[in-house]
Amino acid sequence: MNRFGEKLRTLRNEHKITLLQLAQEFGYTSHSYLSEIEYGYKMPTVALVLKVSRFFDVSTDSLLKDEMDLDLKPKHFEK
């Protein structure tokens, strides 16, 4: 899970969202927690992983796998 922070930064940058904007979207009063996650100083909580997954519409599996490649396709299966 040590790549979660890198993946979060990649998703943010691709969507042109600042740390502060994302922190506000997730209900945090400061962006410092997310910054510490991105730099690998802290591990994300399950709640944060779910928030990121839902916000960016990516699977939790792709966020938590150690590979750096993100599957940016929607996580919903086509029928």
> In this structure, what CATH number is given to the domain that contains residue 39?
1.10.260.40
Q: Does some domain include residue 11? A: yes
**Confidence at 79, pLDDT banded by 50, 70, 90:** very low
Q: Does some domain include residue 72? A: no
Vertex 63, ends 45 and 66: CA angle to 5°? 105
pLDDT of residue 25: 95
CB within 8 Å of 53: residues ≥ 6 apart: 59, 60, 63, 75
Q: Does some domain include residue 36? A: yes
pLDDT digits (tens, 9 = 90+) for 41-71: 999 999 999 999 999 999 998 898 875 555 5
pLDDT of residue 43: 92
pLDDT of residue 66: 73
Q: Does some domain include residue 44? A: yes
Residue position matching structure tokens 């979207």:
25
pTM: 0.79
Q: Please count the structural domains in the chain.
A: 1
